[in-house]
Structure 1
Amino acid sequence: MNNILFVALGGSIGAVFRYLLSIFMLQLFGSAFPFGTLLVNVIGSFLMGTIYALGQVSQVSPEIKALVGVGLLGALTTFSTFSNETLLLIQSGAWIKAFFNIALNLCLCIFMVYLGQQLVFSRI
């Protein structure tokens, strides 16, 4: 039961953070490309890599894993929004934007997981 509360707390923080970042990116860049989703996925990937690496080199409590790994990052990042936005780009004929959305999300997010891990591992 204790971990459920940590997941709920992390989820509420992640959801609000995602909402605020999405609004910020929409105001900054407009709606022609889903920069908000890209940003939260990149940030979330970096944090996931960091949390994973910390768990490999030290004790990370189950509560912290539930709070950050499941709750915060689960609410912050979203594959369903990425998928929907990509499909909308395809349906509107914006194939090049759809391609870049897919490529950027995959490449940047995988790189950010790696970067997060390396940040932790290099400090050992």
Structure 2
Amino acid sequence: MNLFLDLLTLICICAAGGVGAGLRWLTETRVQAVTGDRLPWGTFVVNVVGSFLLGVLLGAVSPGGFTAQVFGLGLLGGYTTFSSSIVQSVRAGGSEGLLSGIVHAAGTALGCVLAALIGLQVA
């Protein structure tokens, strides 16, 4: 690949990542407004939906291609958030008890894996 195409790909990934982060914020705040602040349902929804969409994307296009990089790495990478989910699991474990933190972390991981597998099957 030449330098121009590498730079263009980088710019597209960065732009898509910014859009994904904005969509994450919108989704999280809307879900939390409905569910309340007791549990971090907004982050859970974002990660499960993002995993499903990534499964659909990677089932439909070449994993190393431009489309997968921009929409998978950029848009969906900006949309989903593993680090926030882990922090929320730790917080839940501290405020609600260790079992709550473990259930949140395990439930998120299982939900995301299942959503990605379903997404791959849909594509």
TM-score w.r.t. the length of structure 2 is 0.87
1:25 Cα shift?
A: 1.2
For structure 1, list consecutive stretches of 5 or more residues without a partner in the other structure: none
Q: Which has the higher contact order (CA 8 A, sep 6+)?
A: 1
Match of 1:44 in 2: 50
1:60 Cα shift?
A: 7.0
Indicate conservation of the 8 Å contact 1:3/1:62, yes or no. no
Cα distance per residue 1:11-60 (max 9 Å; x no partner):
011101100011001110111101011001001100111111113xxx57
Count how many residue pairs are aligned between Structure 1 and Structure 2.
117
CA RMSD in angstroms, aligned pairs only: 1.6
Match of 2:41 in 1: 35
Report whether the alignment pairs 1:78 with 2:77: no
In the TM superposition, 1:55-74 aligns within 5 A as: 55=61, 62-74=65-77
- Identity over the aligned pairs, expressed in percent? 26
For structure 2, list consecutive stretches of 5 or more residues without a partner in the other structure: 1-6
TM-score w.r.t. the length of structure 1 is 0.86
1:61 Cα shift?
A: 7.8
Match of 1:99 in 2: 102
Cα distance per residue 1:69-124 (max 9 Å; x no partner):
1111111111110110011111114334323312221111111111111011xxxx
